[in-house]
Amino acid sequence: MNFHIMTLFPDMVEQGLKTSIIGRAEAKGLLSIDAVNIRDYAFNKHQSVDDYPYGGGAGMLMQAEPVFQCYEAVCQKTKASKEGKRPRLVYLSPQGRTFNQEMAEELAKEDELILLCGHYEGIDERVLEEIVTDYVSIGDYVLTGGELAAMVMIDAISRLVPGVLHNDVSAEFESFQDHLLEYPQYSRPETWHGKQVPPILLSGHHANIEKWRREQSIIRTAENRPDLLEKAELTEKEQKFLEE
Ligand code: SAM
């Protein structure tokens, strides 16, 4: 999967992502992270890319033309453009649809994605109208720029790309699968600070372990995220267990 990030801070994105699991996946050729500096497409000698908003108001706005020129340059590198199609472009914005695991799974099916990071008070609406296909927020709060949001998305999507995680199974059974949170997990030693690993996990009885894990997932979801349970498919027995 190829990520193209349009940003005023390419170092921030590259340094943040080219470490650990995502960095290793890139080294293995499973994905690529191409951060492009919008400032390189400024059209004045001071390389400024922002100006005052019409109608007044606080702060500066990123101008349409440098963003558009940067977009055209990025498009040249995309498979979609080579096939005469419009590439998928996500504008990170607090006004977008809230990012979640379901969206990460959907986007992980793409071959490539362009992510546009705003700064200051945002970006001139006219260029957004022309190039954006998806508006995505990472939550109901306002960040200073879209870079951290883009990194969150890239991280969550990348770990779903086959081969990125050491063991693909670890992406299959975890929080938000089936609208449940993951069960508690334990590693060695068996006793730590006087706390024992639940004996069932040492029993070697796989069916019982699975049953216990499923119950724990349901309990945890009911305690921490009851809103998720509305979509979870529970058996009649599990529904009763929850009501007890
Ligand atoms: N004036 C804008 C508004 O009220 O909608 C907020 C601009 S914000 C200070 C600057 C940039 O940060 C935005 O253009 C966007 O790219 C990014 N950003 C801020 N909060 C975000 C969020 N919750 N999710 C995704 N991107 C966000």
- Residues 141, 167 contacting (CB under 8 angstroms): no
Residues 97 and 216 in one domain: no
Q: DSSP per residue over 7-36, as a string?
A: ES-HHHHHHHHSSHHHHHHHHTTS-EEEEE
What residue's CA is closest to ligand 1, atom 19? 143
Rounded-to-integer distance, Cα 121 and Cα 144, Å: 8
Strand partners, 3: 33, 113
> Does any domain span residue 203?
yes
Side-chain-facing half-sphere of 34: CA atoms under 13 Å: 18
Which secondary structure element, helix H or strand E, spans residue 169, and what is its range? Answer: helix 169-172
Instruction: Kindly list the protein residues whose Cβ atom lies closer than 6 A to any atom of ligand 1.
Output: 92-95, 117-119, 121-122, 137-139, 141-146, 149
Taking the C-alpha atoms of residue 10 and residue 60, their distance in angstroms, rounded to an integer, is 20
Q: How close is the Cα of 33 to the center of ligand 1, in Å?
A: 22
Same domain, 236 and 152: no
- Give yes or no: residues 177 and 153 share one domain: no
Pocket probe for ligand 1: among 13, 50, 63, 93, the residue whose CB has the most ligand atoms within 8 Å is 93
Distance 121 CA to ligand 1 centre (A): 7
Nearest CA to ligand 1 atom 9: 144
> What pLDDT sits at residue 169?
58
User: Does residue 164 form part of some domain?
Assistant: no
User: Same domain for 112 and 196?
Assistant: no
Atom of ligand 1 nearest to the CA of 99: 24
User: Is 167 inside any structural domain?
Assistant: no
Please enumerate, by residue number, every residue annotated as part of a binding site. Answer: 118, 138-143
C-alpha pair distances (Å), 118 with each of 34, 161, 197, 233: 17, 26, 47, 39
Q: Examine residue 168 and state whether it is found in any structural domain, yes or no.
A: no
Whichever domain contains 182, its CATH number is: 1.10.1270.20
Q: What is the CATH number of the domain that holds 153?
A: 3.40.1280.10
Do 150 and 196 belong together in one domain?
no
Please give the structure tokens belonging to residue 231: 């979509």
Residue 89 lies in a domain: yes
Question: Which domain does 70 fall in, by range?
Answer: 2-158
Tens digits of pLDDT across the chain (244 residues): 999 999 999 999 999 998 889 999 999 999 999 999 999 999 988 999 999 999 999 999 999 999 999 999 999 999 999 999 999 999 999 999 999 999 999 999 999 999 999 999 999 999 999 999 999 999 999 999 999 999 999 999 999 999 999 765 566 667 888 899 999 999 999 999 999 999 999 999 999 999 999 999 999 999 999 999 999 999 999 998 888 8
Q: How many helices (H) and strands (E) does the chain have?
A: 11, 9
Same domain as 79, residue 9:
yes
The answer to whether the beta carbons of residues 182 and 218 sit under 8 Å apart is no
Are residues 47 and 105 part of one domain? yes
Whole-number pLDDT of residue 178: 87
In a domain, 206, yes or no: yes
Domains: count for the chain: 2
For residue 15, tell me if it sits in a domain: yes
Q: Give the annotated binding-site residues for S-adenosyl-L-methionine.
A: 118, 138-143
Does any domain span residue 177?
yes
